[in-house]
A = this chain, B = another copy of it.
Amino acid sequence: MSEQDNSMTNSALNVLNRTRIVMVHTSHSGNIGSAARAMKTMGLHHLVLVEPKQFPSEEATALSSGATDILERAVVTDTLEEAVADCDFVIGASARSRNLPWPLVNPREMATKVLALPEDAKVALVVGRERSGLTNEELARCHVHVNIPANPDYSSLNVASAVQVLCYELRMSAIASQEQEKPEWGVEWDQPLAKGKQLEGLFDHWEKVLVDIEFLDPNNPRHLMTKLRRFVLRALPDEVEANILRGMLSHIDKKLRRN
């Protein structure tokens, strides 16, 4: 990533370099190219494609309009889980409000949040399918949802246009951050944040324990795990906190087996 952008300090550039765009199940190859172009104009470089319908493709290359380096470096994965496994903070684009409320920000607030993360935090901005966006399950993997304010009568924002707006806000915030910086909780945190993979391990383990103690009925799970997820993600747990919860689960396991 040879980023030669002289308009910003290294620390501001750093935010753009460690934020990836994740496109889930994109149907139209052209949108992948347009998104790459949108990213590059705003100084983002890291594109991850979860099960794209077609990639690489001539149409993506044509519409990338010279941002072919982004396409060449793009990573293709089978699952969203894989795409965000090493991420500290995952943001999901959501067009409409869901049954279960989830922390929701607009693009500007999203950018402010990203800028407030620790200096080495890896961030994923996830956008969904052209027609249907992200599923509830995919949205439950995100710390926070971002909604681009749109005309309620016609909110049909093109997916590459959404990427453009989100990347634009990140760039605007990165530029503004050169004037002042404030960490997320007002203090320098003492621990690195828990990564996506660690959190998924925690949730899997937690679910098993809840079944074991007969608190969660696998035949009627309701929203229990989703609510736990939402709660845990909202706190933006650090590694030690995630380890404490994991350790508690292991001790429950041990105790149940011993008795």
Contacts and interface: CB of A to CB of B under 8 A. Distances in A.
Interface of A: 3-7, 34, 37-38, 40-43, 65-67, 97, 100-109, 147-158, 160-161, 164-165, 168, 171-172, 175, 185-190, 210, 212-215, 224, 227-228, 230-232, 234-237, 240-241, 244, 247-248, 251-252, 254-256, 259
Q: How many copies of the shown chain assemble into the complex?
A: 2
B150 A37 contact: no
Contact of A161 (B7, B100, B161, B185): B161
Contact of A38 (B161, B212, B227): B161
6 contacts: A34-B158, A41-B161, A161-B161, A164-B164, A255-B256, A256-B259
A256 B156 CA distance: 53
B38 A213 contact: no
A41 B154 contact: yes
Contact of A151 (B42, B104, B105, B165): B42
Nearest to A242: B231
A151 B187 contact: no
A185 B103 CA distance: 4
Contacts of A187: 97, 101-104
Contacts of A3: 153
Contact of A234 (B151, B164, B236): B236
A141 to B, nearest CB: 17
Nearest to A225: B244
Contact of A164 (B97, B165, B235, B255): B165
Contacts of A213: 248, 251-252, 254-255
Contact of A165 (B147, B168, B212): B168
Contacts of A188: 101
Given A41-B154, A100-B190, A251-B213, A168 B185 contact: no
B251 A215 contact: yes
Nearest to A155: B41
Nearest to A109: B186
B251 A214 contact: yes
Contacts of A152: 5-7
A234 B231 contact: no
